[in-house]
């Protein structure tokens, strides 16, 4: 991430406007949106609708891949046993102990976590992308490229390494909070429901949440921007306490995001020294 920060601080020649540097095939995919904030309102609205349609198409293709990954049930459970063993070797906190304690002392908080897991993931990410396009267009290309690279890598991971989440392993003693509180995006069968239940590794809930926070912190200067880090913090808590992910899922997701942002760094705008970010 240091390389990205250094790139943002680079100065441009005197009088040269801040611009986004892009090239190659990714540039043709992502395009430049630096003119969005200064374009006439109808043009901005058309561009916004175009970008929304493009992202909806991306998510649709991604979810199709997740459905295909749901077919390998036995491998998903074998991989779950392996992930649990690796976490114990790494001495990561026990997900079961955390969930059991919170269900005992703070069931309302676990109920909130269950709802947050079900409803916040897509709306927050899409809202963030719309805000970036509308208010921070110079950084939008970088964010979108990072999202595309991250999501593509995650899809490959879900296809090659299907993983049953902790809530599907009775021997771990964890509770399916979606069933407990009556609000779940998953059905009783791994082959039906809104989402693929075996797409746990890596966790895009965590990775997308970190992308939102980094995008806001990098593209703005207000002191309130640091509140954005609450979103990935809450999301990590949520995915663990609801038994939908292991710690390792989130760590791998963040690692892939770091790589994606580094690969997309050429789309970061160069700013003059001392140039403010409102």
Asked if residue 195 is part of any domain, the answer here is yes
Asked if residue 135 is part of any domain, the answer here is yes
Determine the Cα–Cα distance for residues 129 and 126; give it in Å rounded to an integer. Answer: 5
* Cβ-contact 173, 96 below 8 angstroms: yes
Per-residue pLDDT tens digits for 127-152: 999 899 889 999 999 999 999 899 88
Q: What is the pTM of this model?
A: 0.79
Domain that holds residue 259: 40-266
* Cβ-contact 201, 158 below 8 angstroms: yes
Determine the Cα–Cα distance for residues 61 and 82; give it in Å rounded to an integer. Answer: 29
Q: Determine how many CB atoms are found less than 10 A away from the CB of residue 64.
A: 12
- Maximum mean pLDDT: which of 40-54, 67-81, 169-183, 253-267: 253-267
Least trusted range by pLDDT, from 67-71, 205-209, 233-237, 271-275: 271-275
Q: Tokens 């992930």 — which residue?
A: 83
* Cβ-contact 71, 197 below 8 angstroms: no
Asked if residue 3 is part of any domain, the answer here is no
Q: Is 212 exposed, middle or buried (0-12, 13-18, 19+ CB in 10 A)?
A: buried
Phi, psi at 19, each rounded to 5°: -145, 165
Per-residue pLDDT tens digits for 58-97: 777 777 766 666 667 889 999 999 999 999 999 999 999 9
Sequence-separated (6 or more) residues with CB below 8 Å from residue 30: 22, 141, 144, 145, 148, 267
pLDDT at 190: 54
Burial readout 104-115 (b: 16 or more C-beta within 10 A, e: otherwise): eeeeeebbebbe
Asked if residue 2 is part of any domain, the answer here is no
Domain count, the chain: 1
Asked if residue 29 is part of any domain, the answer here is no
Asked if residue 192 is part of any domain, the answer here is yes
Asked if residue 167 is part of any domain, the answer here is yes
Asked if residue 169 is part of any domain, the answer here is yes
Mean pLDDT of the chain: 81
């Amino acid at each position: 991430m240091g390389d990205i920060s250094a790139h943002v601080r680079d100065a441009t020649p005197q009088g040269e406007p801040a611009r986004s540097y892009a090239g190659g095939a990714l540039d043709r995919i992502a395009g430049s949106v630096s003119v969005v904030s200064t374009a006439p309102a109808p043009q901005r609205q058309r561009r916004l609708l175009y970008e929304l349609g493009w992202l909806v198409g991306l998510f649709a293709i991604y979810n199709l891949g997740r459905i295909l990954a749901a077919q390998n049930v036995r491998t998903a459970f074998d991989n779950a046993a392996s992930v649990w063993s690796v976490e114990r070797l790494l001495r990561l906190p026990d997900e079961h102990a955390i969930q059991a304690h919170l269900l005992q002392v703070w069931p309302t908080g676990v109920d909130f976590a269950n709802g947050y897991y079900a409803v916040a993931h897509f709306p927050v990410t899409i809202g963030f992308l719309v805000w970036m396009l509308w208010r921070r267009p110079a950084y939008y290309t970088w964010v979108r490229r990072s999202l595309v690279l991250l999501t593509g890598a995650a899809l490959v991971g879900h296809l090659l390494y299907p993983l049953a989440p902790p809530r599907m392993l009775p021997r771990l003693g964890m509770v399916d909070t979606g069933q407990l509180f009556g609000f779940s995006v998953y059905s009783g069968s791994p082959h039906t429901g809104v989402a693929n239940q075996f797409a746990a590794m890596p966790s895009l809930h965590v990775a997308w949440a970190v992308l939102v926070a980094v995008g806001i912190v990098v593209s703005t200067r207000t002191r309130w921007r640091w509140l954005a880090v609450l979103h990935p913090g809450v999301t990590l808590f949520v995915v663990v306490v609801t038994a939908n992910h292991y710690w390792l899922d989130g760590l791998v997701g963040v690692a892939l995001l770091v790589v994606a942002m580094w690969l997309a760094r050429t789309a970061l705008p160069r700013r003059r020294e001392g140039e403010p970010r409102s």
